[in-house]
A and B are shown apart, each in its own frame.
Chain A
Amino acid sequence: AQSVTQLDSHVSVSEGTPVLLRCNYSSSYSPSLFWYVQHPNKGLQLLLKYTSAATLVKGINGFEAEFKKSETSFHLTKPSAHMSDAAEYFCVVAIYNQGGKLIFGQGTELSVKP
């Protein structure tokens, strides 16, 4: 069965330092994986997606993620955090043998200190 686990419920970084949000997945099929971002009191927005093309995926606002099949991971990174990056981030896997339903991780709240 497909599942997704975000390893940290909360990450705090200083502005200008790197960001690493960790995500592991479990899938019986070749997975499609996504990262969504949710700013306070807003809906979710797609940040980037992996759908079996390049393993290093670039998204909006300088974020990128690398698909590592051997480690079943899809960690989200950014070289230098900005105050506007403070938000909640969700790792998501698509269950294509169940009509493409999306399974959301529990979320990681990113705080950015000045």
Chain B
Amino acid sequence: NAGVTQTPKFQVLKTGQSMTLQCAQDMNHEYMSWYRQDPGMGLRLIHYSVGAGITDQGEVPNGYNVSRSTTEDFPLRLLSAAPSQTSVYFCASSYSYSTSGIAGGELFFGEGSRLTVL
């Protein structure tokens, strides 16, 4: 059972380059999200999706784009990388989402993608 799979695990970019972080889940989860983790700041929500074709911004969306064409996949695109985007990125999913929020509050996380922008 793969769960949430992120690729690549490590990436080094130059300022101005673009790239896509891939996220796939095989649990048929409705809700998917991207977080970034920076030292001393916990995790901050970048974008999220409550189902195929539906996305919304989180706390720190600037410089990132997402799309959700299938239930399984939720790629995160960096349009023009900046050193401030050096971080560890986590994709997380949950089996359902309603007006009261993420079902049970439980998110299933991938193992992270460590991005360095020079």
Chain A residues close to B by CB (< 8 Å): 9, 32, 34, 41-46, 49, 51, 90, 92, 94-96, 99-102, 104-107
Contacts and interface: CB of A to CB of B under 8 A. Distances in A.
A106 B41 contact: yes
Given A44-B90, A90-B42, A102-B45, A49 B107 contact: no
Interface stretch (B13-21, B61-69, B76-84, B96-104): B96-104
A46 B107 CA distance: 7
A105 B106 contact: no
Interface residues of B, number: 28
B43 interface: yes
Given A42-B111, A43-B111, A43-B112, A100 B102 contact: yes
B105 A49 contact: yes
A9 B99 contact: no
B107 A41 contact: no
Contacts of B42: 90, 104-107
B13 to A, nearest CB: 20
A69 to B, nearest CB: 18
B53 interface: no
Given A41-B112, A100-B97, A100-B100, A34 B43 contact: no
Contact of B104 (A44, A51, A105): A51
Nearest to B114: A41
